[in-house]
Amino acid sequence: MGSKAKADGVGIFVVQKWGDSVVSVERHSERILVLKMILGDCLLNVFTVYAPYSGKTKRMLWIVVNGGS
């Protein structure tokens, strides 16, 4: 998974014993990644987000996070 155009972005490590519990990995952008896992009888959604501290990129990220286009 990842982008061939860029080498940066967010990622997440999952310990090997939980690897079979991963049901999906969704990359919403190079800054937002959602991992879904089944642990016992629970669905766990893990969000990893890189949020810059300031500037245009920060404003654009929050638009995406809030469901805007």
- Give, for all 69 residues of the chain, the pLDDT tens digit: 445 565 567 788 899 999 999 999 998 888 888 999 999 999 999 988 877 666 677 777 777 777 765
Place of tokens 């990842």: 2
pLDDT value, residue 6:
58
pLDDT value, residue 69:
56
How large is the C-alpha radius of gyration of the chain? 14
Total of domains in the chain: 1
Domain that holds residue 37: 16-65
Does 24 fall in a domain? yes
Q: Which two tokens stand for residue 18?
A: 């939980």
Does 2 fall in a domain? no
Look at the pTM and tell me if it is higher than 0.75.
Answer: no
pLDDT value, residue 1:
46
Does 3 fall in a domain? no
Distance separating alpha carbons of residues 49 and 35, to the nearest angstrom: 11
